[in-house]
Structure 1
Amino acid sequence: MNGGDLFSLQGRTALITGGSRGIGRMIAEGFLAHGARVYITARKAQACNLAAQELASAGRCVSLPHDVSTVAGCRAVADAYGRHESTLDILVNNAGAAWGEDFDAFPEGGWDKVVDLNLKTPFFLTKALAQPMRAAAQARVGKIINIASTDGIGLNPQENYSYVASKAGLIHLTRRMAMRLAQDNIAVAAIAPGAFPSEMNRNARDHGEALSEHIPARRIGTPDDIAGAAIFLASRAGDYVMGATLVVDGGVTHARPYR
């Protein structure tokens, strides 16, 4: 057993949606540090291009700015990727949205926007990229990593109905996709992050110290925490992990005492 090879991503290609900021960017940084060629997508072209330019100091990182919230957008990303590479080793379905509003006022638009991006997009983007992923999987196990959330497992006081439904659905979709794609030598797994500072999780970003009091680990997550989990699943070390959701939350979901 070679410890260095076990977690290496040398020579592998990765596509990360929502890779210009937050958890997606943290994962991109980790993949680059372990030798992968990384492609990132984001809806805002300027932000995506700037992020790729900054990340390129650590390795090859290419910006593919597209809106993946529609099936047409997923196909456009797949076409854009295909102009650079013929195979794809790792797909990280990270792009997501949230919406919080009182039950009686919760709008259809807040439901559709979140469910489409968080649940529909991972499925149809994976379909759009199936050919290059199957081609890569001829040589080694391909990897699909869906970024779910601890809100898909447990509840918090926020009235984020479409978000919790989409993330719970993504966790179960991960299991179903894993069953099907294992026959193509592609392992599908998910990560359920807890409190990581980002634009989507402003509570962790702006009130991390106060939030840490409710986390068994006594701190919020760091880039190394989420990148380490993604590297494990993406590398040879994670080849036998299929259909599972790895909870990365400092113990909130499984190690917090009942009150």
Structure 2
Amino acid sequence: MVSELFSVRGRVALVTGGTSGIGYMIAKGLVEHGAKTYIVGRNPDTCSAIATELSAFGQCLPLAGDLSSMPGVEAVASALGERESMLHILVNNAGAMYDAPLGEFTEQGWDDVVDLNLKSVFFLTQSLLPLLRAGATADYPSAVVNIGSMGGTRVGPKENYSYQAAKAGLHHLTGSLGKRLGGENITVNAIAPGFFPSRLTQIPDEQLPAILQLVPRRRLGKEDDIVGSVIHLASRAGSFITGAVIPLDGGMTL
């Protein structure tokens, strides 16, 4: 049945940056569709509050941690390993952005963004491989879903150099990991969202009409769009897809 093909019920999921924006949308969708979902956020109080809120729809648990450093990555992986013997779905969503004119762009503005948007994805995935392998089968692989950006596929108008470079790197990393891990029954794919209302994407009302003219679908992304894409990749329906970067931008990058 189609409902079984797209089911994530009973799966164990981890969503980084799951307390706000696209990460919150993804976590909520996974919880609502029956996955036991851990959310990672820097602020312990916020993480606990959001987990409590989402628990109204199913199983959601907080896992506070700072993924911008290696000790933080290792702490999150260790904490999950103490609670679970396997992981079926890893959504690498945590991210940051920094804008500055070229001549004023700082080393910290580069490092902070690249460390969180790219470096942490590689090392968190690496650290969680034992759990991902334990949850994987040939018929139902474990799934890593990286949240990239249309900013990683085309040069945008903002001077967010480290963000665009990190997202482009993440897209390429997705292919590298997909090729390496496919034989171990682990799929690795990326979704490259366009404009979704979030902390990182705030569009002034007066600019919205002009933005929508650039989007063939003439609207912004919404929760169902990102949730549907993640569930497709994380369910058996997506078991033969790996190494892909899927645009989710209403056609904006065409």
Which of the five TM-score ranges fits, normalised by the shorter chain? over 0.9
Secondary structure, aligned partner of 1:196: coil
User: Hey, what does 2:170 align to over in structure 1?
Assistant: 170
Q: Corresponding residue for 2:58?
A: 59
Does the Cα contact within 8 Å between 1:194 and 1:249 map onto a contact in 2?
yes
Query: Which residue of 1 is the match for residue 91 of structure 2?
Result: 92
Which secondary structure state, in structure 2, belongs to the residue aligned with residue 220 of structure 1?
A: coil
Superposition deviation, residue 207 in structure 1: 5.2
Q: How does 1:12-91 map to 2 (within 5 A)?
A: 12-91=11-90
Could you tell me the TM-score, scaled by structure 2's length?
A: 0.96
Shift in alpha-carbon separation, 1:50–1:247, aligned structure 2, 3 A? same
1:198–1:204 Cα contact (<8 Å) kept: no
Cα deviation, residue 208, structure 1: 4.1
Which residue identity is paired with 2:55?
A
Superposed displacement of residue 83, structure 1: 2.2
Aligned-pair distance for 1:209? 4.7
1:33 deviation in Å? 1.8
Retained in 2: the 8 A contact 1:19–1:40?
yes
Between 46-55 and 95-104, report the one with greater CA deviation. Answer: 46-55
Q: How many residues align?
A: 253
Q: Could you say if the C-alpha distance between residues 192 and 206 of structure 1 is closer, same or farther in structure 2, counting changes exceeding 3 Å?
A: farther
CA distance in 2, matches of 1:205, 1:184: 47
Query: What's the offset of the Cα at 1:213?
Result: 2.6
User: Aligned with 2:14: secondary structure?
Assistant: strand
Contact 1:17–1:93 under 8 Å retained in 2? yes
Cα distance in 1 between the residues matched to 2:68 and 2:206? 28
Q: Which residue identity does 2:243 align to in structure 1?
A: G
Q: CA deviation at 1:34?
A: 1.5
In structure 2, the residue matched to 1:5 is 4
Give SS of 2:39's match: strand
* Counterpart AA for 1:63: P
1:223 maps to a residue whose letter is E
Structure 1: 4+ residue segments shifted above 3 A:
204-210
User: Could you report, residue by residue, the CA deviation over 1:214-258 in whole angstroms, capped at 9, with x for unpaired residues?
Assistant: 21111100011111111110111110110001100011012xxxx
The alignment-based identity, stated in percent, is: 49
Q: How many Å apart are 1:210 and its aligned residue?
A: 4.5
**Distance across 2 between alignment mates of 1:240 and 1:71:** 32
Q: Deviations over 1:64-118 (max 9, x none)?
A: 0100111211111111112221100000000000011000000000000000101
What is the deviation of 1:48? Answer: 1.0
Unpaired runs of at least 5, structure 1: 255-259
Letter of the aligned partner of 1:188 in structure 2? Answer: V
Given that 1:11 and 1:36 are in contact with CA atoms closer than 8 Å, whether structure 2 keeps it comes out as yes
Deviations 1:150-192 (A, max 9, x none): 0000111100100000000000000000111112110000000
Q: Are the structure 2 counterparts of residues 109 and 135 from structure 1 closer, same or farther at C-alpha, using a change threshold of 3 Å? A: same
- Structure 1 residue 144, shift from structure 2 partner: 0.2
Find out whether 1:192 has 2:208 as its counterpart.
no
Query: How many Å separate the matches in 1 of 2:206 and 2:128?
Result: 36
The 1:249/1:179 distance shift into structure 2, 3 A limit, reads: same
Secondary structure at the residue paired with 1:145? strand
Give the structure 1 partner of residue 227 of structure 2. 227
Residues 61, 236 of structure 1: CA spacing in aligned structure 2 closer, same or farther, 3 A cutoff?
same
Distance in structure 2 (CA, Å) of the matches to 1:223 and 1:209: 20
Cα distance change on mapping 1:253 and 1:111 into 2, 3 Å: same
Q: Distance in 2 between matches of 1:174 and 1:245?
A: 8
In 2, Cα distance between the equivalents of 1:210 and 1:45? 39
Gap runs ≥5 in structure 2? none
TM-score with structure 1 setting the length: 0.94
Partner of 1:241: 241
Aligned position for 1:124: 123
Structure 2 CA distance for aligned equivalents of residues 81 and 205 of structure 1: 41
| TM-fit CA distance, 1:211 | 2.4
For 1:66 and 1:79, how far apart are their aligned partners in 2? 11
